[in-house]
Amino acid sequence: MTKPLSFDFTATQLDAVAEFSGQVAVFVESSGKLDQTARRVNRLTKGALERFAESSAFADIEPGQARELVFPTGLEATGIIVAKLDRKPDAKTARKAGSAIGKATGKSGLLVLGGNIARVAEIAEGIALRAYTYSDQKSVQPDPMGGVTFMVNKPEEAASAAAGPLAVAEGVFFTRDLTNAPANHLTTEEFANQLAAMQNLGLKVQVLDEGELEKLGMRTLLCVGQGSDAPSKVVVMEWNGGGDEAPFALVGKGVVFDTGGISLKPAGGMEDMTMDMGGAGVVAGVMRAIALRGAKANVVGLVGLVENMPGPNATRPGDVVTSMKGDTVEIINTDAEGRLVLADVLWYAQERFQPCGMINLATLTGAIIIGLGHEKAGVFSNSDALSADFLKAAADEDEGAWRMPLDPAYDKLLKSRIADMKNVGGRAAGSITAGQFLQRFVKDDMPWAHLDIAGVASVASDTAYAPKGATGWGVRALNRMIADNYED
The reported pLDDT for the residue numbered 107 is 87
Confidence of residue 146 (pLDDT cuts 50, 70, 90): confident
pTM: 0.97
- Side-chain half-sphere of 107: how many Cα atoms within 13 Å? 5
pLDDT value of residue 419: 98
Buried b (16+ CB within 10 A) or exposed e, 130-161: bbbebeeeeeeeeeebbebbbbbeebeebbeb
Domains and CATH numbers, the chain: 7-153 (3.40.220.10), 172-485 (3.40.630.10)
pLDDT tens-digit readout, 196-207: 999 999 999 999
Alpha-carbon torsion (150, 153, 156, 157), positive or negative: negative
Catalytic (active-site) positions: 265, 339
For the purposes of burial, counting CB atoms within 10 Å of the CB of 243, is it exposed (0-12), middle (13-18) or buried (19 or more)?
exposed
How large is the average pLDDT for residues 13-20?
Answer: 95
Q: What is the pLDDT of residue 185?
A: 98
Whether the CB-CB separation of 425 and 410 falls below 8 Å is answered with: yes
Query: In whole angstroms, what is the distance from residue 330 CA to residue 424 CA?
Result: 9
HEC string of 315-358 equals CCCCCEEECCCCCEEECCCCCCCHHHHHHHHHHHHHHHHCCCEE
pLDDT tens readout for residues 391-411? 999 999 999 999 999 999 999
Confidence of residue 229 (pLDDT cuts 50, 70, 90): very high
Say how many Å lie between the first and final Cα of the chain, rounded.
31
pLDDT at 409: 97
Q: So what's the pLDDT on residue 170?
A: 98
Helices (H), 182-218: 188-196, 210-216
Per-residue confidence at 488, pLDDT binned at 50, 70, 90? confident
